[in-house]
Amino acid sequence: MIVRSKTPLRLGLAGGGTDVSPYSDLYGGAILNATISLYAYTTIEPTDDGQVEFLAPDKGLREVYKDAMEVDTDGYFILHKGVYNRIVKQFVHKPLSLRISSFVDAPAGSGLGTSSTLVVSILGAYVEWLKLPLGEYDIARLAYEIERVDLGLAGGKQDQYAATFGGFNYMEFIGDNVIVNPLRVRQRYIDELNHNLLLYYTDTSHVSADIIREQQQNVKQNRTSSIESMHRLNEQAQQMKEALLKGRVESIGEILNFGWQHKKQMAQSVSNPRIDAIYDAALAAGATGGKISGAGGGGFMFFYCPGLTRFAVRQALAAFGGETKRYEFTSEGLMTWTV
């Protein structure tokens, strides 16, 4: 028997950062995101030798443990180990024997929610294998707890829910509660977005936890400019929702630009001179707006390019290296199956 899972990465279209505590605890946050056709994959192969074997076939990495009720959470496989430890502790109460491997279509630190999406993928494979009675909200919440509480990795809440539910979602974060509102966006509006949104990899990565910690500190210290910017991003999520549902696709570039100008005020490390130069070059070539994906500092950016301006924008961005990436928006979240 072989168990597999496949979980989509996401683009954060609006409201990014308002899902992070303590802002979401104090004021409530709102996010609009959508999943795309880049994925995290996991395979579990049950064994009978009493070993837990973690594999990253694309990296050529491997770690093995024997008769493990709990494994250390050091090294490359920290996410895999965090999920294993929680599954054993909360559900099976005995060592497991398995070989588990995974890979992701985008590099770590790319701003597409790779870490959280991988946690959901790993967790989903265990749910399929062990037939655990967990629904979508349960899986997303458990993935959040493993990453943020068990492993102590700084970040927000949106990525786990985006990966689990899939599609276009307007999410509300009120204290400890998360409400996922799936959006019924007409296919022709989605097709227009696919046509006009250009996804560009800057060929750099970032450590989102560092940026998020700076953002959290700004809220704790009651820095007015940072908090006001987050309020505006809350508004942006509502603007984006209305634009998508009502078909005002031509306004999305302006909404993205509005959000980007305020996102840069949340923390100094969100942007840098190279990112600013890339953004300015894209707008000069015909884009009407854009943003960096994720916390900031590097990784993927995307731009709204109306008409046929995507070709001029792509040419302008070529001067900075990096590459544009093909994708489609997807409607499915976590998928699991047994072979």
For residues 138 and 223, state if they share a domain. Answer: no
| Full residue range of the structural domain in which residue 89 is found | 3-183
| Contact between 200 and 281 (Cβ < 8 Å) | no
pLDDT at 99 over 70: yes
For residues 258 and 199, state if they share a domain. Answer: yes
Residue that has been written with the tokens 């707008």 in this structure: 283
pLDDT at 177 over 80: yes
pLDDT at 182 over 70: yes
For residues 237 and 258, state if they share a domain. Answer: yes
Please give the Cα distance from 100 to 126 (Å, whole number): 10
Please give the Cα distance from 157 to 248 (Å, whole number): 28
Domain termination residue (choose one: 183, 208, 238): 183
For residues 164 and 203, state if they share a domain. Answer: no
For residues 99 and 69, state if they share a domain. Answer: yes
Please give the Cα distance from 216 to 51 (Å, whole number): 40
For residues 154 and 25, state if they share a domain. Answer: yes
Comparing C-alpha atoms, which of 87, 74, 83 is closest to residue 102? 83
Within-domain flag for 332: no
Within-domain flag for 339: no
Peptide bond just before 182 cis, omega within 30 deg: no
Mean pLDDT of all residues in the chain? 93
DSSP assignment of 275-302 equals: HHHHHHHHHHTT--EEEESSSSSSSEEE
Within-domain flag for 334: no
> Model pTM greater than 0.85?
yes
β 98-104/51-56 pair status: parallel
| 3-class SS of residue 179 | strand
Please give the Cα distance from 82 to 275 (Å, whole number): 33
pLDDT at 24 over 80: yes
Task: Name the token pair of 133.
Answer: 């009675």
Q: What is the pLDDT confidence band of residue 207, given thresholds at 50, 70 and 90? A: low
pLDDT digits (tens, 9 = 90+) for 56-86: 999 999 999 999 999 999 999 999 999 999 9
* Residue 14 confidence (pLDDT): 95
Domain termination residue (choose one: 135, 151, 183): 183
* Helix H or strand E segment including 230: helix 224-246
If one counts every other C-beta atom within 10 angstroms of the C-beta of residue 89, the result is 12
One-letter amino acid for residue 187 of the chain:
Q
For residues 55 and 199, state if they share a domain. Answer: no
For residues 200 and 260, state if they share a domain. Answer: yes
For residues 139 and 225, state if they share a domain. Answer: no
Specify the number of domains making up the chain.
2
Stretch 184-209: mean pLDDT: 89
Within-domain flag for 330: no
For residues 222 and 236, state if they share a domain. Answer: yes
Comparing C-alpha atoms, which of 97, 23, 41 is closest to residue 64? 97
Catalytically active residues are 159
